[in-house]
Copies of this chain bind each other. A is one copy, B any other.
Amino acid sequence: MNEQQRKPRSDGLRNRERLIEAAKEVLGQGGPQASLEAVARRAGVGIGTLYRHYPTREALFQAVYRHEVDQLIKLADELKNAADATEALRTWLHAGVALVATKRGMLGALAVVKTEASSSMYSELSAQMKLAVGQLLHRASSDGTLRTDINADDLLQTMYAFCYARQPEPGWEAQVLRLLDIFLDGLKLQET
């Protein structure tokens, strides 16, 4: 039963990557009903290739979302040892807003379909996000530059709240970043 497997083909892997990248852009802009053929075109692959790798729209959404969260986890890891812990936190949150910008398009679709597969994935990824921001927050508050009466959940909630409070207008992203910065300033302890 131990069938020996070939190594996955390099072109296959490459195209998976390209599709995720293209989907992030196209779906981020055009919303959940954007054309999958446009995604394939942007990735420079045939439509058949897209469907082979991601048989359903939903599968593609999930892959994109998971990929984005992975990036954020990685980013948190890189920032773990940054000189300025508060600044690191700010950087990470800004990246988080960008994630929401991508996810924004997909959320509707996920909410409508609401497979138990998708919702379990959603909560799993949420937990990972919380851990990631928790690391950064802990360092920033334990070195005495940040208030200690706020936790990872509070921070993520705040970020989401800002994002969803002002979504429709174009330019909302910059606004949200501004508000988030102000909030972070409020978290800083004054060293008199």
Contacts and interface: CB of A to CB of B under 8 A. Distances in A.
A145 B22 CA distance: 63
A33 interface: yes
Contact of A168 (B31, B114, B168): B114
Interface residues of A, number: 6
Contacts of A108: 108, 112
A58 to B, nearest CB: 15
Nearest to A113: B168
Contacts of A114: 168
A137 to B, nearest CB: 33
A76 to B, nearest CB: 32
Interface in A103-125: 108, 112, 114
